[in-house]
Every structure is written in structure tokens, then in C-alpha cells.
């Protein structure tokens, strides 16, 4: 079945404007046209685009409910109320918690605590357990970061416990917005903030920026929270949905080239790392000294880190192994055995390497920790949310039902579509990943998908006619 696509083609830029911009910037007209299509139609706008400044940040009060959020924080600080900074357990959520907690301490508020929900016992987002804990501790205001936009019932419950909420989220809202004191989310349909692709931490920063502005704090007092010289470490595994960018590339687009960026990846279930069980991963960076810097920070007697220059290969392996893990779980759910799983792992890494090498990755990477290493652990372990979701799908659950049951983000579902977009772009065949897409998004029976894989045209495993006798 062909991949469904929707192309949105922007009209060409005004020829005179394109020609003038190309001449002013001394760039080819095709690049000038791309800039004009993005609304960058003057030399001044182009300069701002390629040389962004902190002064270019949008006014935080353009965000819906920001005034109400700042007023509630001011009241809590003034009255020395106990504030809980509550964040999701992923990198965005924990970073947001660190930023807002650090700012509140910076302005002298000490009556506060933070809370990260347990991913297994509480799941994603606001939990009743977290609200009850806050109430027992005397908290009267929770600032929720990277979660809460759909927590209508939880916010209402918190109100009965005497706890107010400020929600700072970036996910798509449901039809009903929680009745919190303030709901900051640039994706709200009634929010006119000019940029709706902020992260959860980004929304938290806008709250901090707004508080500082209203209280006469110079921007220099909060700029250190951005730490422009920091090394940024990506520990997420996936491909950005709309752009098909790897995550370090997406990060670089957001923060600019000033920050060194590292991809930290490999077979590393958090449950085992937390127990101090021996774990080995790889740090990928453009510059050797950056990778070695992270290597030196994280290495100890139970956590070994290798360095690599192949950031792209590391990230492709990390993202696509989740799709193959879904396939392995589906096979388990169908009742297949070790032979099937071995076939999926070996042919799966072949597909991952085929695409990764075509994109510019190195073969050795896919034979290493972030390639076959991460694929094995993800396909074999019940710690793997992708494998667990696959098992449910193999047993007859729909993709949506499986994700609801797992109660965590199943990265392979999102990476599956992105992988097919990349496969088409680079003209690479990914039969396993293609069949996973058919099952996830087109209602194909899992057993039929396996049958179609088994009955594909005959192939030769190792290419090269000179090897035959």
C-alpha cells in the first residue's frame, strides 16, 4: 500500500524581492527564495535570522493567561506559600523543573519543593498521588511543567484539597481546558503567542521571563538560566515528526550553533542503571573534545562510556531500533518463538544500517552499542515500552489501545512514520519497518504482515557475485 502524503507547497517568492535579497546577501537565488517563503524578505530580517539575539525573544505576556500566572506566583512568594514545582519524568520535564525551581530560589523563595512522578506507579502527567503528597506537605500552589494540559479532573480534584495549579505545557489541548489558575500553552487555539513550538521547558522559561519583567529584574539576572556555554546532551531517542530531523539536529536548530551537542545512547534501561548494574553506552559529538568531556563526566565503575564522531549513525540506530522492537513485541504477542525474534533483530539491524549509511552514518556504528547493542536489549527486555506495546498489538489491541495500556510514550510509533519518510527520500527499502507502519496506521492484521514478509521475493543475504564459486 502506498504511503499517504499531504504536500503543502508554499508559493514562490516575489521575483524582485528574491533577486534583491540574493544580491544583498550574495547567495544563490534558490536560497533567497527559501528565505522569502519564510517571510525573511529583507537584509535586516536575514541578519536577525542568522544571528539571533536574546533580545529577540517574544514578549512572554503575549501568551494566554500569563498575567494570571505571574500574579499567582507573586502572591505565593509574597505570602510565603509552599510551592511545588511538578514536572514530567522525561528530559524536557526534569529540565523545566530544574529551571523554575532554581529561579524561585534565586529570587529568595525557600518554601518550595519539587516532584517528579514515578513513571511506573503514577504514569505520565499529573497524578492523584502527587496531589495528595502536595496537600500533606502543605502546598497551596503547584506549577506543572511539560504536563497538565489534559488533566481536567486532576486539577479539579486538587482544588478540593486546597491546591491551585499553574499549567505550563506544550502538548495539544483537548476540547476542555483544565480550570487552573492559569494554563500556559502556546498550542491553545485562543493563544496568540507568535511561536507555538516551544518545549515544556521553554514555556517554563517564559513564565520566569514574565515574572522578571513585571518585577523589574534585568534580563541579565535570568540569562544565566540559559547557560549559553553549556554542553547540551540529548538522551532522547527518536526522529522529529514534522521535519524528520534527528534530535541533535532539531536541538541545534532551536539553540543555534553556539552550544556543543552530544548524543548519549546505547543499551541502557534506566531501571538497571539506577540499580548500579554494569552498563556501557556511547557519546557521539562533532568534536572529539566534547565527546571526551561527557565521557569523563559519566564514566565510573558501573557505567562505561565510549566516544564516537558518528552522531548521525548513533541517532538513527537509537530511533529505528524502537520500530523493530515493536515488530519483535508483535511477534511475541502472536506466539512466535526465538527463531522469529532472531530473524527480526538481524534483518532489522540490516534495515537500520541500510538507511543510516545512505544518510551518512558509518557501518561500524550499527555493529556497536547504539546499533545492534541497543536493538538487542530493546527487542528482548520487558523494560522496553516498545516491545510491551508490540506484544499487545500482536494479541489484537489497536495501536491506540496498546499505547493507553502501556501508559508511557511509545517512541517507535512516531519513529515508524518518520522512517518511511526518510526511506522514500533516500530510496531505501525497509520491509520490516514498512509492515510495522501497515499494522499501526492502516489496520493490517499482524499475522498477515508477517506472512507478507516471509513471502517476499527471494534475496541474497551477502551481495557480491565474485564470492560465488
Active site residues: 321
Distance CA 112, CA 162 (A): 16
Coil/strand/helix, residue 442: coil
Nearest-angstrom CA–CA distance, 322 and 441: 16
- Give per-residue burial for 7-37: e unless 16+ CB within 10 Å, then b: eeeeeebeeeebebbbeebeeeeeebbebbe
Please state, as a whole number, how many other Cβ atoms lie within 10 Å of the Cβ of residue 128: 13
Cell numbers found for residue 202: 521553554
Q: Where are the alpha helices (DSSP H) in 334-372?
A: 338-359, 363-366
Partners of 232 in the beta sheet?
Answer: 261
Residue with cell 511538578: 86
CA atoms within 13 A on the CB side of 56: 10
- Residue 370: partners with Cβ closer than 8 Å, 6 or more residues away: 265, 266, 281, 282, 284, 313, 314, 317, 318
Nearest to 378 by CA among 424, 421, 415, 431: 415
Amino acid at each position: 500500500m502506498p504511503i499517504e502524503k499531504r504536500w503543502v507547497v508554499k508559493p514562490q517568492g516575489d521575483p524582485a524581492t528574491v533577486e534583491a535579497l540574493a544580491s544583498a546577501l550574495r547567495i544563490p537565488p534558490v536560497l533567497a527564495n527559501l528565505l522569502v517563503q519564510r517571510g525573511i524578505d529583507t537584509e535586516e530580517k536575514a541578519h536577525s535570522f542568522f544571528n539571533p539575539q536574546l533580545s529577540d525573544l517574544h514578549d512572554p505576556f503575549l501568551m494566554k493567561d500569563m498575567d494570571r500566572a505571574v500574579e499567582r506566583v507573586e502572591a505565593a512568594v509574597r505570602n510565603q506559600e509552599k510551592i511545588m514545582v511538578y514536572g514530567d519524568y522525561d528530559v524536557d520535564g526534569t529540565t523545566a523543573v530544574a529551571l523554575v525551581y532554581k529561579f524561585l530560589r534565586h529570587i529568595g523563595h525557600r518554601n518550595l519543593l519539587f516532584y517528579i512522578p514515578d513513571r511506573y506507579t503514577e504514569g505520565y502527567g499529573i497524578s492523584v498521588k502527587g496531589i495528595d503528597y502536595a496537600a500533606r506537605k502543605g502546598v497551596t500552589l503547584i506549577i506543572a511543567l511539560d504536563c497538565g494540559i489534559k488533566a481536567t479532573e486532576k486539577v479539579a480534584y486538587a482544588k478540593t484539597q486546597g491546591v491551585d495549579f499553574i499549567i505550563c505545557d506544550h502538548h495539544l489541548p483537548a476540547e476542555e481546558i483544565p480550570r487552573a489558575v492559569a494554563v500556559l500553552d502556546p498550542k491553545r487555539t485562543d493563544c496568540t503567542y507568535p511561536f507555538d513550538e516551544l518545549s515544556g521547558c521553554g514555556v517554563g522559561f517564559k513564565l520566569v521571563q514574565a515574572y522578571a519583567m513585571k518585577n523589574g529584574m534585568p534580563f541579565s539576572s535570568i540569562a544565566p538560566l540559559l547557560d549559553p556555554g553549556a554542553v547540551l546532551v540529548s538522551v532522547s531517542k527518536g526522529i522529529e515528526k514534522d521535519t524528520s530531523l534527528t534530535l541533535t539536529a532539531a536541538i541545534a536548530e532551536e539553540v543555534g550553533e553556539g552550544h556543543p551537542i552530544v548524543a548519549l545512547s546505547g543499551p541502557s534501561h534506566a531501571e538497571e542503571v539506577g540499580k548500579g548494574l554494569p552498563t556501557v553506552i556511547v557519546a557521539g559529538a562533532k568534536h572529539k573534545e566534547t565527546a571526551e568531556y561527557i565521557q569523563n563526566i559519566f564514566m565510573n565503575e558501573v557505567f562505561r562510556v565510549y566516544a564516537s564522531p558518528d552522531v548521525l549513525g548513533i541517532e538513527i540506530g537509537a530511533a529505528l531500533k524502537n520500530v523493530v522492537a515493536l515488530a519483535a513485541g508483535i511477534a511475541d504477542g502472536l506466539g512466535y518463538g526465538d527463531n522469529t525474534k532472531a530473524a527480526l533483530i538481524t534483518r532489522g539491524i540490516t534495515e537500520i544500517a541500510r538507511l543510516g549509511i545512505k544518510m551518512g552514518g558509518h557501518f561500524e556504528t550499527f555493529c556497536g552499542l547504539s546499533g545492534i547493542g541497543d536493538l538487542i536489549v530493546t527487542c528482548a527486555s520487558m523494560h522496553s515500552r516498545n516491545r510491551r506495546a508490540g506484544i499487545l498489538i500482536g494479541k489484537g489491541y489497536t495501536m491506540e489501545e496498546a499505547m493507553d495500556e502501556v501508559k508511557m510514550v511509545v517512541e517507535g510509533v512516531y519513529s515508524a512514520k518518520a522512517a518511511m519518510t526518510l526511506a522514500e527520500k533516500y530510496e531505501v527499502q525497509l520491509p520490516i519497518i514498512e509492515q510495522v507502519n501497515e499494522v499501526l496506521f492502516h489496520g493490517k492484521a499482524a499475522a498477515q504482515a508477517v506472512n507478507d514478509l516471509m513471502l517476499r521475493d527471494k534475496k541474497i543475504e551477502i551481495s557480491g557475485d565474485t564470492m560465488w564459486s
